[in-house]
Amino acid sequence: MTLSRRAILGALGLGAAYPSIGRSQEAPRGITTPRKFGSFNASMPSCTVPPGLRKVLVFAQDNRREFVQSAARGMALAAEQRGLGFEIALADNDPNAMVGHVRRALVDRVGALIAAPIDVATLAPVIREFIAQGGYVGSIVPPPATTILNAPQLATGKALGDAAAAYIRTRLGGEARVVLLTHDTNQFLAQRFVAIRAALKAVPGARVIADISPKTVDKDGGQAIMRTILLAHSRVDVVLGADTVVLGALAALREARLARDDQFIGGIDGEPEAFAEMRTGGPYKASVSLASPIFGYALAQHAADWLEGRSVPQGLDILPTIISRETLSQFERDTSDPAAVYRDKTRRDLYLRAYGNSCYDSRTDFVDFGWSSELKE
C-alpha cells in the first residue's frame, strides 16, 4: 500500500504547524512496578466502548527509516479493513514536533495512537493524558502505553551475534576486526548488544575495534561514525547494529573502497534495503527481522478492537527471525501480506506473542514501565 501525501500530513492538520496547547494537570501514572504478564486471553468478555472518541488512528512516526515506514503500511492496511481513519504525524526526529502532534490528536479526541517515540521524557506526560481520555496507545518499545510492542532483546541480539560468530569461525579463519554500532544510550534496546558481545566473546580471534553509538539512528549516523572509525582502522571484517545504521556504515566502506564480499555486514530490523543488499551476494549477510509490517498490522487491529470495547494485549512480542539470502523469499511473502499472516494463527505465532489483557474499563492499569517478556520474576 502506497501512503499518499494526505496520509503523511493528515486530515487532522498534524503535518502543519501545530498549535500551542496549554498543559493540563499531569495525568496519573499507570503500572510502574515491573511485572510479567500472563498469556493474552482473546476470549475475555467485552467491556465499555470508549465514549466520545473519533474512530481515527494516528501514527506518531519518528522519522522516515524503512523499518517504521513498513510498520505504517501494515497499520494503514488494518485501519482500512476495520473502518478507521488513518493519519501519519511525521516528526522528522524532532521530539517537540511529536509532542505537538500528540497534543493535537488529544484535543481532536482521536481514538487511537501508535507511537515510535523519539524522546520518552518529553512524550510520556502527553501520552498519559491521551490514555486518561480513554484512547488506545500502542508504543514501539518505550512506555507508557496500553500495549507495549517490544522484541525479546537478548534473543534478538543473540540471533545476530551467533550468526556473526559462526561466520567468523567458518569463513574468516576464526579472526575478525569487528565494529559494533550500538543503541546503548537507549535503555530499552541495550540488552541486544549485551547478547551480541557475549556471542563474540566466545570467539577468541574476534577483536572489537569500535563499540559506539552513532549520533542518529539512521543511514547518515552510520555513515558518519564509520568514516571516523576508518581514520584509525583501514581493515574492518564485521559490522553489526541496526540495519539503517549498518547500511550507512557500508556506504562509508564503499566510499573508502574498503568494502569486500567476504565481510559480514549484519543488522537488525529487516529493512528492505538490507534485503536488496543480500540479494547481490556482497558484504551484507544477514538481518534479524522484526517484521514491522506484521506488527504494525497487529497494533492497528488492537486499536480497532479497543474502540469497539474489546480486550487487547498489554504486551506484544515481535519475535526475531534471522534472514539470510537463502530464507529471504519466504519472509518477503509473509510481510507482503500481513493480513493473511494475522488471520492464520500458526503463521501469526511465528512472528507475534501477546501477553496480558486490558480494555477501556481497566484503562488506568496501563503499562508505565519498560516491559519485556524477558523480565525476570
Domain ranges of the chain: 5-150+292-316+347-362, 153-289
CA distances (Å), origin 252, targets 117, 183, 241, 276: 28, 19, 15, 18
- Spacing of C-alpha 33 from chain mean position: 23
Take residue 323 and report the three cell numbers written for it: 534472514
pLDDT of the chain, 377 residues: tens digit per residue: 444 433 444 434 444 444 444 444 789 999 999 999 999 999 999 999 999 999 999 999 999 988 899 999 999 999 999 999 999 999 999 999 999 999 999 999 999 999 999 999 999 999 999 999 999 999 999 999 999 999 999 999 999 999 999 999 999 999 999 999 998 777 778 899 999 999 999 999 999 999 999 988 889 999 999 999 999 999 999 999 999 999 999 999 999 999 999 999 999 988 889 999 999 999 999 999 989 999 999 999 999 999 999 999 999 999 999 999 999 998 999 999 999 999 999 999 999 999 999 999 999 999 999 999 998 86
E-assigned strands of 295-350?
315-318, 321-323
Domains 5-150+292-316+347-362 and 153-289 share a fold: yes
CATH topology of domain 153-289: Rossmann fold (3.40.50)
Sheet holding 205-212, edge to edge: 205-212, 175-181, 238-242, 264-269, 284-289, 321-323
What pTM, to 2 d.p., does this model score?
Answer: 0.82
Beta bridge partners, 115, equal: 60, 139
Alpha-carbon gap, residue 313 to 367, rounded angstroms: 10
| Domain 5-150+292-316+347-362, CATH | 3.40.50.2300
